[in-house]
Amino acid sequence: MQAARLHEYTEEMNDALSIDDVDEPQPEQADHVVVDIEGAGWCQTDNHVIEGMWAQYMPQDLPMTLGHENAGTVVEVGDGVSVVEEGESVICHPVMTCGTCRPCRLGNDMHCENIAFPGLSTDGGFAERLLTNERAVIPLPDGVDTTDIAPHADAGITAYHAVKLAARELDPGDHAVVIGIGGLGHIGLQCLDAMAATTITAVDMKDSALALAEELGAHHTINPTEENVAEEIDALTDGTGVQQVLDFVGADETTGLGPDVLAGGGDHYVVGYGGHVHEPSQALVNGDFSYRGTLVGNYTELQELVALVERGDVDLRTTQYGLDEINDVAAKLEHGEVEGRAVITP
């Protein structure tokens, strides 16, 4: 079968991956599931993997097939699999977990002590077929398109997980800010609108993104290239600040907004990454606020997100590309030229 493989880390996205002929995966363990990939979302994390940013966090033996947002049809299963059968449509939770370590017992899939992460530590879904396991696959309801839903396997669940945490701290009438209405942020905004009776202000440098934010439920929008974000938030909240910030950018400029826009006791959720948090400890003490990092989400949260999708509360904006266009997609994302999510169709 064909697969898009990373042979060496590079900053050059135009020819980062090669299309290689590789052996089809086989179910070698009782819990293994082989999925015929019909959609595999391209993520900013894929660019970071290509650059070598994840090598210090995940063991990576190159060459490796990338792709961690996967959905398709089950074609083979191990002898012990009972959750799915051949012919079923599934979305794949991004990690393969053991189910027996303490984090798994607590439901913290992303912190499994024996984790395997297709696309980051093992071969992923930018290929005709993917090897995963039973604990990762979620059967899809009839009528849900596997190609369109694929990015929810990481982008969607990551946005949902952060919003779920923030929504627990939001009372009706509170105010929240969503920074970055891109591939993750446009999902997060919809989840927030569906899950909390809160006023939402969207922040983005692109007017097109802000127009999308209004379409998806934002009550106010701010373009930081034209307006002072802190002053606008101060005016919108009568000087009290917002209770929650959902930062889908994670750049120095956006993490720095926390002390200027948060009300006392608020939280700044860092979802996107690449920048740093540069704040004196006294600022956190005086404001009684916190920065919180969020890492994807657990299996049950992906089930919950699929339910929101089925109900029509969350809609993905996607563009499809063939496997042979994969380096074009990497380059487009690197230059901020992808609206919504890009989906590879092997």
- The pLDDT tens digits for 147-180 are 999 999 999 999 999 999 999 999 999 999 999 9
- From CA 324, how far away is CA 316, in angstroms rounded? 23
Express the helix, strand and coil content of the chain in percent, nearest 5 each.
Answer: 30, 25, 40
Alpha helices (H) along the chain: 44-51, 102-105, 146-149, 155-167, 185-195, 207-216, 229-236, 252-255, 258-261, 281-287, 299-311, 326-334
Residue 183 has pLDDT above 90, yes or no: no
Buried b (16+ CB within 10 A) or exposed e, 118-140: bbbbbbbbbbbbbbbbbbbbbeb
Residue 337 has pLDDT above 90, yes or no: no
Residue 24 has pLDDT above 90, yes or no: yes
Res 58: pLDDT: 86
Residue 240 has pLDDT above 90, yes or no: yes
- The pLDDT tens digits for 255-296 are 999 999 999 999 999 999 889 999 888 888 989 999 999 989
Q: Where are the domains of the chain?
A: 2-154+296-345, 159-293
Res 143: pLDDT: 87
Q: Is 98 exposed, middle or buried (0-12, 13-18, 19+ CB in 10 A)?
A: middle
Residue 57 has pLDDT above 90, yes or no: no
Name the nearest CA neighbour of 65 among 129, 3, 130, 150.
3
Residue 59 has pLDDT above 90, yes or no: no
Find out if CATH 3.10.50.30 is the number for domain 159-293: no
Residue recorded with tokens 């079923």: 88
Res 256: pLDDT: 94
Residue 10 has pLDDT above 90, yes or no: yes
Options 3.40.50.620, 3.90.180.10, 3.40.190.170, 3.10.580.10; CATH for 2-154+296-345 is 3.90.180.10
Q: If you average pLDDT over residues 178-194, what whole number do you get?
A: 95
Phi and psi, residue 305, nearest 5°: -65, -40
Q: If you average pLDDT over residues 306-333, what whole number do you get?
A: 93
Q: Judge contact between 70 and 130, C-beta under 8 A.
A: yes
Residue 338 has pLDDT above 90, yes or no: no
